[in-house]
Structure 1
Amino acid sequence: MPDLSLDLHPETPADHAAIERLHERAFGPGRFARTAFRLREGIEPYHSLCFTARVGTLLVGSIRLSPVEIGPGTPCVLLGPITIDPAFQSKGIGGALMRRAMEQAKAEGHRLIMLVGDAPYYERFGFKVVAPGRLALPGPVDPGRLLVAELVPGAFEGVSGPVRGGLVAA
């Protein structure tokens, strides 16, 4: 396949149906039972941190970040879902979306990002595996897949406790 001309754009309400179809193709109906989905349930994402990726007019990727809180009052951003159309995977689209969302989160003053995902993939973006037992999520999570990245050095020092969906973001 020739080099892709990739365009990243802030997500708009007009993108929602296409993004939902993309999530359905990538994750299937089981996505609603996942712990990360349960954290996001009923919580509006940070609209300024949600982006889409297009090749021409075709939506091929999406990333969303939502507010969560760790322990007694530590704000954090939950990354996910990040979804790439299966026909466009392994082309750098996920990395481009990750960098854009993380840069924007840092620019807006966010200090921590967490996610449930594949450590070898996300380590290149600064994510590290959370020590088992340090965070408690509202459902099962493979401890090797619970990851945190500090957008500000030292932001995760001393942070522990239950993780809850945050307040509705504007």
Structure 2
Amino acid sequence: MIAQPSAEPALRFSFEQPQDAEAIEALLDHAFGPGRFTKVSERVREIAEFRPDLSVCAWDGARLVGSVRMWKAHVAGAPVIFLGPLAVEADVRKHGTGGLLVQRAAAAAEAAGFPVVLLVGDEPYFGRFGFTAAPAKDVRLPGPVDQRRVLARGAQALLGALTA
């Protein structure tokens, strides 16, 4: 029997709800493993305010297939949103699910009055969504990080340390 190519799923997107937390944690554990708690992004999340109203989930029926979480922090006293973690089930990655999550979350942040979104990630991937390293080159995160991976969208330049 010849395998048929997988069809693009009909995804439903929603802002994170309290009842989604268990499924999101399972997805994050599967995607990143226990090492996710050692990253500098986790240090940011320890001092930032979680914003479920800006965090987006992707659903294929009743199955969570993707999630991006958003956090309010400050750089030199100015409010910013920190994006991450972003996780997508392997079988739907090829359909652009991660990009759709990033775009929806960044648009929600902007609509809520947060024009600057920061993240730690790969510029070749996130650059497609307007993120670059240049405006964040002077942002200091609470732990060691490759500064070239600190990216921002919606800012000419950010100067200072990220705080709660």
Same fold (TM > 0.5): yes
Query: With CA pairs under 8 Å and 6+ residues apart, which has the higher RCO, 1 or 2?
Result: 1
Q: Secondary structure at the match of 1:48?
A: coil
TM-score by length of 2: 0.90
**Shift, 1:43, TM fit:** 3.9
Q: Unaligned regions of 5+ residues in structure 2, if any? A: 1-5
Equivalent pair of 1:134/1:160 in contact (CA under 8 Å): yes
Q: Secondary structure at the match of 1:90?
A: helix
User: 2:3 matched to 1:4?
Assistant: no
1:69 to 74, 83, 104: 74
2:40 to 13, 35, 42: 35
Could you tell me the percent identity over the aligned residues?
38
**Structure 1: distance between partners of 2:70 and 2:125:** 18
Amino acid paired to 1:143: Q
**Shift, 1:63, TM fit:** 0.8
User: 2:141 matched to 1:141?
Assistant: no
Amino acid paired to 2:30: R
**Structure 1: distance between partners of 2:129 and 2:136:** 21
Indicate the residue corresponding to 1:112 in structure 2: 116
Runs of 4+ in 1 over 6 A off after TM superposition: none
**Shift, 1:89, TM fit:** 1.7
Equivalent pair of 1:112/1:156 in contact (CA under 8 Å): no
| Structure richer in helix, relative to its length | 2
Q: Unaligned regions of 5+ residues in structure 1, if any? A: none
**Shift, 1:88, TM fit:** 2.2
Q: CA RMSD in A?
A: 1.6
Amino acid paired to 1:33: T
